[in-house]
Structure formats: structure tokens, C-alpha cells
Amino acid sequence: MTLCQSTVGIVARDSKGNVLLSCSEIHQQVATSFSAEALACQKATQIDIDMKWEKVIIEGDSLSIIKKCKMKSSDKSLVCAYIHDIQQLALKYKDYSFEYTQRMANSLTHSIANETMKNKREVYLVERVLESTEQQEERDRVKELD
């Protein structure tokens, strides 16, 4: 199996669509794109706990990963360790859910991940996004309010 480098982009928004946080990570030796999606979900879940937000909705554009995170039974797929970690982290919240969103509605996270891959530089920004993704952020925020 060939292991690849992948990047994860995360955007947290409030109920009005305003960016609370945006960040990215570079991961070495990731087996599949499926694993990369699970890593993104795991990172988002950990950030939510670190930030101590009361109500959390994790949105992702990998329907398989979102379904696995919602399952009450143990997962037996190649990403079972990630899913188990995500489920254990989620137990720390009362008001927590995982929701599927189409990729076009999740384009800001992909733009951030692409910028990170291109520049080989991780980011962690509070209440803002990378300058190069500001126009995408505005388009996504307007769409989210519709």
C-alpha cells in the first residue's frame, strides 16, 4: 500500500455563519482519501472540545464517514481507529451531531486544505480565514444563510 501526504481543512462557524476558527494540518503517510476524511472529522471534533462550545454540529462531505460517526455500534472498516476516537470524543457533549453536507457547500475547507498543500504551511486562525480564501468564505457564508 502506498502512503501519501494529505491536508485537512477545518472551518468552525456560529449560527449566523460567521467564522469562529479556521485551521489546517498536514498529515504524512495517510493510506486513503477515506482516512484523510476521517482525520478531518477527528480534528474538528477535538477542536470543538478544546474550544468548549456548547452545541456542536460537525459537517462533512464524506457521507460514509458521517454515517460511521453516527453509528452506535463499533466500526470494523480500515478507519475504525479514527471512528472510535471520534465517537469517544463526542461522548463528552450532550448536544452533538454529525451532518452530511455536499462538497460544494464545504468548499472553503477544501480551499484552505489546498492552500496548505500548496504552501506547505499549516494555519490556525481565530475569527478569520486565510487572505487567499476570503472571497470563498463570503460566498459560503451567504449560501449558508439562505
DSSP conformational letter for 77: S
- How far apart CA 92 and CA 86 sit, in angstroms, is 10
Q: For residue 73, what pLDDT is reported?
A: 83
Q: Who contacts 94 (Cβ-Cβ below 8 Å, separation ≥6)?
A: none
The three three-digit cell numbers of residue 127, written as one number: 475569527
- How far apart CA 98 and CA 34 sit, in angstroms, is 16
pLDDT, one tens digit per residue, over 39-67 is 999 999 999 999 999 888 999 999 999 99
Residue spans per domain, the chain: 4-140
Q: Who contacts 43 (Cβ-Cβ below 8 Å, separation ≥6)?
A: 8, 10, 23, 25
SS3 56: strand
Q: Which residue has the cell 482516512?
A: 35
The three three-digit cell numbers of residue 5, written as one number: 501526504
Architecture of domain 4-140: 2-Layer Sandwich (3.30)
- How far apart CA 4 and CA 23 sit, in angstroms, is 20
Q: For residue 126, what pLDDT is reported?
A: 96
Residue 78 has pLDDT above 70, yes or no: yes
pLDDT, one tens digit per residue, over 4-30 is 999 999 999 998 889 999 999 999 999
- How far apart CA 24 and CA 136 sit, in angstroms, is 16
Q: Who contacts 108 (Cβ-Cβ below 8 Å, separation ≥6)?
A: 9, 11, 22, 129, 133, 136, 137, 140
